[in-house]
């Protein structure tokens, strides 16, 4: 009974950590429209990058994650990577506009975005640590017997972008 309850607790910890990662990605997605509209006011002729950022954000928002499915996690990570790449290009364009770089709204959004990126990295690391502990737990004897009996399976870790 103790092994089973420990597995349930660890499984729920993995789910909660994953939710925190998704929450930070959502925070980033919520900041994007404000950032795009601020930059758009200064660089209206850069329409292509605005579409890239908007499309990447939409794609990331439509990607569903299943913790037991490596493919869904890979798809989710790829979609989030596309958002990061598009944001990097958007911020690079912003460097060409001195007035924009001095705009208080833009500076605040940039600081919030940088903070969110740090939170994402922290939550991904926390998720990986909790997931590692869970994966060890379901492989160790005797909890591996209970894990197999009740269908607990390993969870996928976040991998670094190549």
Task: Give a yes or no: residue 128 inside a domain.
Answer: yes
Assess whether pLDDT exceeds 70 at residue 161.
no
Q: What is the mean pLDDT of residues 22-44?
A: 84
Considering its fold, how many domains does the chain have in total? 1
Do residues 156 and 67 touch, judged by C-beta distance below 8 A?
Answer: yes
Task: Give a yes or no: residue 45 inside a domain.
Answer: yes
Q: Given this model, what pLDDT does residue 138 score?
A: 93
Q: Given this model, what pLDDT does residue 145 score?
A: 93
The range of the structural domain enclosing residue 12 comes to 2-150
Q: What is the mean pLDDT of residues 123-128?
A: 93
> Residues 42-87: pLDDT tens digits?
777 677 777 888 888 888 888 877 777 778 778 888 888 888 888 8
Assess whether pLDDT exceeds 80 at residue 97.
no
Q: Given this model, what pLDDT does residue 126 score?
A: 95
**What does the alpha-carbon distance between residue 91 and residue 61 come to, in Å, rounded to a whole number?**
21
Task: Give a yes or no: residue 158 inside a domain.
Answer: no
Task: Give a yes or no: residue 129 inside a domain.
Answer: yes
């Amino acid at each position: 009974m103790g092994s089973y309850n420990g597995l349930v607790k660890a499984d729920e910890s993995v789910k909660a950590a994953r939710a925190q990662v998704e929450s930070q990605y959502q925070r980033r997605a919520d900041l994007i429209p404000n950032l795009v509209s601020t930059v758009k006011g200064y660089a209206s002729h850069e329409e292509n990058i605005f579409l890239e950022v908007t499309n990447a954000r939409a794609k990331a928002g439509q990607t569903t994650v299943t913790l037991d499915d490596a493919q869904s996690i890979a798809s989710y990570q790829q979609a989030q990577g596309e958002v990061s790449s598009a944001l990097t290009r958007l911020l690079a364009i912003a460097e060409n506009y001195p007035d924009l770089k001095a705009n208080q709204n833009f500076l605040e959004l940039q600081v919030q975005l940088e903070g969110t990126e740090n939170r994402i990295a922290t939550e991904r690391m926390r998720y990986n640590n909790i997931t590692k502990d869970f994966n060890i737990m379901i492989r160790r004897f005797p909890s591996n017997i209970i894990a197999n009996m009740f269908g607990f399976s390993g969870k996928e870790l976040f991998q670094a972008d190549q």
